[in-house]
Amino acid sequence: RLSGQDAHRDHGEAAGVSRRSRNAHPLTDHAANERLARFERLVRGRFDAVVPTLKAIGTLAPTDDLAERAASMARAELGVALPAELFESAWITGLDMRRLYAVTMAETIHAVAAETHAFAGTESDTMTGFLLECGFHAVDISPCSDGRLKGVIRSILRLPDDAVRSRKAYAGAMFDVEANVRRWIETELLRFREGSPVPPSAGTRYLKIAVYHWSRSDPDYEGCAAHGSDQRAAAAAALSRLRELREAVENSFFCGASIDLLLIGVDTDTDAIRVHVPDALGDMDLDRYVDNLDLYRQTIDDDVTTARMRVHRAIEAASADHPGGPPHEGMRRLIATLLINNLSQIDYVRSTWGERYPDVGHAEAFISVGDGFEEFQVRNLAYFVFLQTVEEAATDLDVGIGLFQRRPERRGLPIPIAIHFRYDRRVPGSRERAIERCVRVRSAIRARYRDLCAAGLLACDMSIQERTFSSPIEVIEAP
């Protein structure tokens, strides 16, 4: 296992944490972990550099060439271009650090989004094929909007982005049943009308996954804010929302229509998942699950074959004593794959940070509002509020603003809000309407948080993007 240990050392060094001597898990995908580490360093590093660089710019003497010196410092350290007008009246009033911060954060968001397109999933065909083999023609995942779950698809579950039909996040994973039914209908029509990805005769299913979360080390304070940090309440709420969706689908289109469900929990300290294994009828139980951190510990000294076998046995054990019996084989294969994928992530977190993440609590850099950037799937990078209007999502937004205001290290800094909507170039007027929506949502945010805005403590940035995967970010400039 020398090569594995080497890889860990390099990785630990580069991320700037102390080197740890330990064994890797036998099922860890080291190449994927290295790719992920590079991606996270690229993204996180850019945001982490903002405050130190601006502090350094703040110490520059207000000489005539201040704008040039600041701009070259920003270019070198942050890779962004700062407009000269930010420095024009610095000799009279001093630098407007709040504006400087807001502009820098917006520029960083745009720059990082553009640079990380290259990291977009490449294995999606293989995964889509595997999902079809498991009997699923579509997988739709709704995690909680908590920033610590921002990496749930790419890191925690290790799924390629475009193998997932939808990944809209909601506070407490309380996804919109009506919107989900509509998405299911669209998927059904593609199947019936176009035979895409497979015709109905293939007998495949639509899979809806909800992801709740808790904190192992500080369960009463660092769990899911939307459920008062009550792990069981969070799991129960997500489970009943899943059941509601299935009932809605079964009732709306009677002829045998149904969907498969899966409930997954994430320990945000370690990124270890807990998969609630469904029974043969597709129903789940709060107490019937496989805990992947236990599994990780039990298999750490195994060889590859034994470890794999134990994963499959754990799934069987979780449904063994249940009268309904185990779920269909495809579901068992999918769960095994998710657990094995997640073992790599547990290993990644342990090798990089040790027992748990240093940032157990909230440390988001900005609030992402609207349709969300697929480019920023990095833990604790953004608090995400999926919304079409502020009116409907006001509570979620209030929670996010509150989280930022309560962080002492952010005192005096404006809260960066990145408003982002996607459009469909096949639909006439869709791009114009996305722009209108950006401006409308910004007005509503400014109206709701009038005092924060007036004090310069809230800064909105607007952008749109075509719906096709990895299309460029288009920045919206409006007065």
For residue 374, give the 3-state DSSP assignment.
Answer: coil
Q: Considering CB distances under 5 to 8 angstroms, the limit depending on partner class, which of a copy of itself, Zn ion, none binds residue 252? A: a copy of itself
Residue 444 interacting with a copy of itself (CB under 8 A): yes
C-alpha span between 250 and 271 (Å, rounded): 34
Binding mask 237-266 for a copy of itself (x = CB under 8 A): ------xx--xx--xxxxx-x---------
Closest distance of CB 165 from a copy of itself, Å: 15
* Helices within 354-469 (DSSP H only): 390-405, 430-448, 450-454
Decide which of Zn ion, a copy of itself, none touches 159; Cβ closer than 5 to 8 Å per partner kind: none
Of 226 and 441, which CB lies nearer to Zn ion in the complex structure?
A: 226
| 79 vs 138: CA distance, rounded Å | 39
Q: Is 178 in the site for a copy of itself (CB under 8 A)?
A: yes
Confirm if 416 and 365 have CB atoms less than 8 A apart: yes
399 scored as a contact of a copy of itself (CB under 8 A): no
DSSP class of residue 166 equals B
* Distance between CA atoms of residues 370 and 422, nearest Å: 9
Choose which of 64, 85, 194, 477 interacts with a copy of itself (CB under 8 A). Answer: 194
Select from 389, 405, 406, 454 the one that contacts a copy of itself (CB under 8 A).
389
Tell me how far, at minimum, the Cβ of 79 lies from a copy of itself, in Å. 36
Q: Does 392 bind a copy of itself (CB under 8 A)?
A: yes
Structure tokens at 406: 């309560």
| Complete DSSP assignment for 169-200 | -BGGG---HHHHHHHHHHHHHHHHHH--SS-G
Binding of a copy of itself by 91 (CB under 8 A) = no
Picked from Zn ion, a copy of itself, none, the partner binding residue 11 (CB below 5 to 8 A depending on kind) is Zn ion
**426 lies in the site for a copy of itself, by CB under 8 A:** yes
Among 390, 413, 435, 438, binds a copy of itself (CB under 8 A): 390
Where in 94-204 does DSSP place strands (E)? Answer: 136-143
Can you tell me which of 13, 232, 424, 454 binds a copy of itself, judged by CB under 8 A? 424
How many residues of this chain bind a copy of itself (CB under 8 A)? 37
Q: Is 451 a catalytic residue?
A: no
Which of 132/439 has CB closer to a copy of itself?
Answer: 439
Record the tokens describing residue 90, joined without a space: 């610095």
Q: Exposed, middle or buried: residue 319 (CB in 10 Å: 0-12, 13-18, 19+)? A: buried
Catalytic residue among 29, 65, 96, 146: 146
Instruction: State the Cα–Cα distance between residues 171 and 187, nearest whole angstrom.
Output: 25
Residue 224 interacts with which of a copy of itself, Zn ion, none, CB < 5 to 8 Å by class: Zn ion
Q: Which amino acid is at 423?
A: Y
Q: Is 432 in the site for a copy of itself (CB under 8 A)?
A: no
* Residues paired with residue 72 on neighbouring β-strands, in sequence order: none
CB 273 within 8 A of CB 266: yes
Q: How far is CA 183 from CA 124, 189, 358, in A?
A: 20, 10, 38
| Contact present, 389 and 441 (Cβ < 8 Å) | yes
Cβ atoms of 352 and 12 within 8 Å: the answer is: yes
Q: Which does 398 bind (CB under 5 to 8 A by kind): Zn ion, a copy of itself, none?
A: none
CA distance 245 to 166: 15
Cβ proximity to a copy of itself, 238 vs 272, nearer residue? 238
Do the Cβ atoms of 282 and 261 come closer than 8 Å? Answer: yes
Q: Which stretch binds a copy of itself (CB under 8 A): 32-40, 130-138, 313-321, 384-392?
A: 384-392
Which of 19, 38, 182, 406 binds a copy of itself (CB under 8 A)? It is: 182
**How many residues in the chain?**
479
Q: Which residues touch 400 (CB under 8 Å, ≥6 apart)?
A: 145, 367, 383, 385
Site for a copy of itself contains 468 (CB under 8 A): no
Binding-site member from 427, 450, 454, 455 for a copy of itself (CB under 8 A) = 427
Mark 3-42 with x for binding to a copy of itself (rule: CB under 8 A) and - for no binding. Answer: ----------------------------------------
Q: Using the 8-state DSSP alphabet, how is residue 54 labeled?
A: H
Sites of contact with Zn ion (CB under 5 A): 7-8, 11, 33, 144, 146, 224, 226, 351
With CB under 5 to 8 Å by kind, the binding choice for 351 among a copy of itself, Zn ion, none is: Zn ion
Within a 13 Å sphere around the CA of 407, how many CA atoms are in the beta-carbon half?
Answer: 17
- Contact residues toward a copy of itself (CB under 8 A) are 177-178, 181-182, 185-186, 188-190, 192-194, 243-244, 247-248, 251-255, 257, 388-392, 424, 426-430, 433, 440-441, 444
| Positions marked catalytic | 146
